[in-house]
A and B are shown apart, each in its own frame.
Chain A
């Protein structure tokens, strides 16, 4: 069975400092992994996805994530936080191998950015 664990429910950083949002997964298949961002009262926006190509995935707004099979991790990073990055971030695994099928969401990490 597939599962996703986001290790931090809340992360607070200062503007201009690096961001690290941690995610570990469990999957019986070769997983497809995603990061989505949700701004307050908005829908979800895809940041980036991993589907068995390059292990370092670059997404929008300067975010990137590295798939590490040995650590079963898919942590999201950004070198320098902006105020506009304050939102909730969800790590997601596809329940069936490939981009089709259902999605399983982590519990989310709320990112706060201090001036």
Chain B
């Protein structure tokens, strides 16, 4: 089946620094990728839709200047958490689709200290 690779799986960073998370579709081209955030003991919430070659579409309440999304190619989308704060600590998951279904990356556990 289709594979989506997300890197890194875990990252610890200091408050005020920026962190970049990569999401790659390994065996198919994805014009659209999605970024989700999962709070402890809660479901996944869509943060933004990443569109290849154009600006991302952010969900209401998500700060686009804080969560920068770049989808420069059909196989790579990146999420950069800028000026991270402890409240940004969470599990972030990307998703890419082919015609059959959505496939998910392994997720990134971000801890801001």
Contacts and interface: CB of A to CB of B under 8 A. Distances in A.
A100 interface: yes
A36 B38 CA distance: 14
Question: Which size bracket describes the interface of A in this complex?
Answer: 10 to 19
Contacts of A49: 100-101
Nearest to B107: A43
Contacts, number: 48
Contacts of B107: 41-44
A103 B43 contact: no
A99 interface: yes
Interface residues of B, number: 21
Given A43-B6, A43-B104, A102-B49, A90 B43 contact: yes
Interface of A: 34, 36, 41-46, 49, 90, 99-100, 102-103, 105-108
B95 interface: yes
Contact of B100 (A41, A45, A99): A99
B34 A102 contact: yes
Contact of B44 (A41, A46, A90, A100): A90
Interface in B82-101: 93, 95, 97, 99-101
A103 B100 CA distance: 13
A104 to B, nearest CB: 8
Contacts of A106: 43
